[in-house]
Structure 1
Amino acid sequence: MREKLRSLADDLSILRGNFLVLLVTWVIFRFAFRLVMPYEPLYIRALGATPTVLGLMSAAYTAVFCLSLIPGSYVADRWGRKRIIVTMTYVLGFSYVFYILAPDWPFSPGWQLVLAGMLFAALARIYMPALQAMTADSLPPERRGLGYALTAVVPDAFATASPLVAAILVGRYGLVEGMRLAYTAVFGSFMVAATVRLLFLRETVRPAGPRGRMGIARFYAESAREMLGALKEASRSLKALVFIPLLVVPLSQALWSTFAPLFIVDFTGISEAEWGTISSIRLAFGLAAGLLAGKLADKLSRKKLLVVRYIASAPVVVGLAFAEGFVEVLAILLLLDLTAFIGMSASQALLADLTPREMRGRVLGARTLLMSLSSIPASPLVGFIYESVDPRLPFLALGVLSLVAALAMACLVEEPAEREI
């Protein structure tokens, strides 16, 4: 009993300082954000966007996001983490005003106004490399798997009922008005979270400052040079861990962020209300699955867990393409969630293990940039295939690519003898 209590105390010891502050802020806005996540593609479609337009909107967002990542990675290591995180959390919150105000009457610029909000949010996410770096800085190497699992599990524990609340809003006020209320909650939560970060976050690196005064062109050139330099200095295993997910992530992001909700509602016999129920069940399941995945990532080989994740997810994602009915769809999604939690905890922990602290902003930013760039053509392509060819085809392709990624991960990635702090 004492050993179990001591082990629990060791696990909970990471809940302090910046990591605790970030976790609290994720809790604050996760409840509101989970209100809109299951219904966002349906909401934008109700404002007049076709599946192809949805894909193009996602591509436009990703392209602008890439433009913000280049200076964001540079700023995270040169100017420090806190200032950009706090400022852009406020700015990101204001991007949701566009979603709230988007009209839905005939011939009105409904989805176009949402697109403006998406692009505004993409620019605000210049803070992502700094946020990723501060999270890694704040976790001890031997607890990183659990720490990254907690970033998903704890906020979602407070958001388990969110999809059900969203389903009630949609049922009572209709899809459009219900989602406007939900986006209002998202805006308020970001304002509160930004203020908490302003008051309690502490800087984790000593800012070096920019190298003299620079115009925009030189600033971008300097930022890109720093990112490329960090990748060149990376070990072979770190480079592999950055590039191998590019086989899977573009198609996966396009599916799960936009087209999977449409597919499930359109082709599996699931209603909008049932989709909200499924989303809540998945969040509740994630509480146990996420903690299990985090503990496994700290006790077992992180590389082997990644290989198993890719192999296990391949047949399951193919199964979703042919699923019918509530129980079958739910079971498949829960299996996919389990593999996703295992992959998330293991990959983020292994990335931190392999990346020196002084390079984390640039390396993590470069990784996110590469994934985002590769996602730009994926979203409109999947939208076209969904609308004009066969909506099941992207699921089949993702299954095949997952097996290829598993083989590459097994051959090219080695775990470090000594983990970076």
Structure 2
Amino acid sequence: MKRNLIRHYIRGNAGVLLITWLLFNTTYALSFAYIPTYIKMTGGNTYDVGLTYALGTLALALTLPLGGYLTDRLGRRFVINLCTWIIAILTFPFIYAPAWYYITIYYVLNMFFSFHQPALMAILADSLPRDRVVSGFLFTSILPTLPMVVLMPVGGLIISTYGLTGFKLAFLISGILAVVAAVIRTIYIRETMTTGNAATVITLTEAYRSLIITMRGISGRVRSLLLSALLISMAASPMTSIAQVYGIYVMNLSPTQWGELMSLALIITIALTSYLSLRPRLNEDRLIMLLITSSIAVNAIALIPGPTPFIIYAVAYQVTNTIVLTALQGMITKSVPMEVRGRMSSAYIMLQLLGQSLGNYLIASLYGFNKTVLFIIPLTILMVNLIVIRERFNP
């Protein structure tokens, strides 16, 4: 039975996404994961790190409604191939960064043209049986992270050994791998939806209007899931940026050691999601509540002085964030009709990114006054989220 379940996740479009996500995760492990350190090495400070991530997530959030609308109007394949080629090409400029704000500009541009994410989620949901969408999202989000288990420490070692030259080499390799992924998607991705007139001119205003209309028609439960995604993303924002700075510059971890912690988190995440995705029945509401409660606990542990509580926090919080956000996305996508999945996926990702942007900016602004805001603010947000969603969930 488990073999039949796995077959759904590795054939057709799902298999193409698995392979290309594997390549993109390799590029992330070698280079993009260490952008906070890259900014610090080129003259930036902690506030500049938070600002870069805030601007990047905001740029993507603004274009996501267009991506979702194009996904439902012109088809999944067109949007996926267009954006994949653009972001592959935009990887190469990171090689040249004489000052930190060059990295900010490159990162914002890369995020701006990543509005194909709703198309990726929609084509994956279209290609899976409805009762396997959530478990399929978990499986296909985690399996491609396997290279990161090894390559996160390798990326950290390259940077620790060669400094800025190591960053240039890492982004060169990343750009080449991204182009390979773009070629694979162009050849093998298959459309899953009958589209209308592709020649129709579509405006950003029309895309936003359509998204608003779609949001009005969703159920109260889906609204609760979207709100939860916003709050969890806001609380989780330090893990992609400021937590790395705290670990390296306050806890005196090397980039290699940080990479090893993230690899450990990936191993645990892969084990847990593999177990969850292969279960015949999955109580999704209970899973979400358990993960949020666990996130509250690890942020509380991080307030204890010393490197050991921080290490527990860094590993455990990465695990809970990855699983809960992936599960929420699957629950939302399967709860709406196929013809609006692109727009609903864009709404989910937009709220997720807005949460990250707000969280990064808020914590970066207060970090200089008291570094414990890195844990106190997420702890508070998660407790509010737990209270808000209890009424809509049936654990």
Question: TM-score with structure 2 length normalisation?
Answer: 0.93
> How far off is 1:227 after superposition?
0.4
Match of 1:67 among 62, 66, 79: 62
In the alignment, structure 1 residue 24 sits paired with structure 2 residue 19? yes
Question: Is the CA contact 1:98–1:116 (under 8 Å) kept in the aligned structure 2?
Answer: no
In the alignment, structure 1 residue 94 sits paired with structure 2 residue 89? yes
Alignment of 1:53-64 (within 5 A): 53-64=48-59
Question: Amino acid of the residue matched to residue 353 of structure 1?
Answer: K
Q: Name which of structure 1's ranges 365-374 and 23-32 shifts more when overlaid on structure 2.
A: 365-374
Distance 1:33 1:270 in 2: 20
Residue of structure 2 equivalent to 1:418: none
Question: Amino acid of the residue matched to residue 94 of structure 1?
Answer: I
Match of 1:306 among 288, 296, 299: 288
The alignment of Structure 1 onto Structure 2 pairs a total of residues equal to: 395
Distance 1:328 1:59 in 2: 27
In the alignment, structure 1 residue 39 sits paired with structure 2 residue 41? no
Alignment of 1:211-230 (within 5 A): 212-213=200-201, 219-230=203-214
Distance 1:57 1:333, change over 3 A: closer
In the alignment, structure 1 residue 291 sits paired with structure 2 residue 274? yes
Distance 1:281 1:53, change over 3 A: same
Distance 1:209 1:409, change over 3 A: farther
> How far off is 1:324 after superposition?
2.5
In the alignment, structure 1 residue 186 sits paired with structure 2 residue 174? yes
Question: Is the CA contact 2:160–2:254 (under 8 Å) kept in the aligned structure 1?
Answer: no
Question: Is the CA contact 1:25–1:196 (under 8 Å) kept in the aligned structure 2?
Answer: yes
SS class of match (1:299): coil
Distance 2:182 2:353 in 1: 25
Question: Amino acid of the residue matched to residue 211 of structure 2?
Answer: M
Q: Name which of structure 1's ranges 369-378 and 85-94 shifts more when overlaid on structure 2.
A: 369-378
Question: Is the CA contact 2:231–2:355 (under 8 Å) kept in the aligned structure 1?
Answer: no
Larger radius of gyration: 1
In the alignment, structure 1 residue 262 sits paired with structure 2 residue 238? no
Distance 2:64 2:378 in 1: 26
> How far off is 1:154 after superposition?
1.4
Question: Amino acid of the residue matched to residue 315 of structure 1?
Answer: A
> How far off is 1:294 after superposition?
2.7
Question: Is the CA contact 2:265–2:316 (under 8 Å) kept in the aligned structure 1?
Answer: no
Distance 1:170 1:118, change over 3 A: closer
Distance 1:10 1:163, change over 3 A: closer
Distance 1:199 1:54 in 2: 37
Question: Is the CA contact 2:234–2:356 (under 8 Å) kept in the aligned structure 1?
Answer: yes
Q: Name which of structure 1's ranges 309-318 and 264-273 shifts more when overlaid on structure 2.
A: 264-273
What do the CA deviations read for 1:274-322 (whole angstroms, capped 9, x no partner)?
22222222223332122123345x6232112111111121021222243
Distance 2:355 2:8 in 1: 38
CA RMSD of aligned residues (A): 2.1
Residue of structure 1 equivalent to 2:386: 406
> How far off is 1:117 after superposition?
0.9
Distance 1:357 1:315 in 2: 37
Distance 1:390 1:57 in 2: 21
Distance 1:147 1:281 in 2: 23
Distance 1:84 1:238 in 2: 25
SS class of match (2:312): helix
Distance 1:32 1:212 in 2: 35
In the alignment, structure 1 residue 393 sits paired with structure 2 residue 341? no
| Identity rate, percent | 23
Alignment of 1:6-405 (within 5 A): 6-103=1-98, 110-174=99-163, 176-209=164-197, 212-213=200-201, 219-253=203-237, 255-295=238-278, 299-322=281-304, 324-325=306-307, 328-387=309-368, 389-405=369-385
Gaps of 5+ in 2: none
Residue of structure 2 equivalent to 1:419: none
Question: Is the CA contact 1:32–1:162 (under 8 Å) kept in the aligned structure 2?
Answer: no
4+ runs of 1 displaced by more than 6 Å? Answer: none
Q: Name which of structure 1's ranges 353-362 and 36-45 shifts more when overlaid on structure 2.
A: 36-45
> How far off is 1:56 after superposition?
2.0
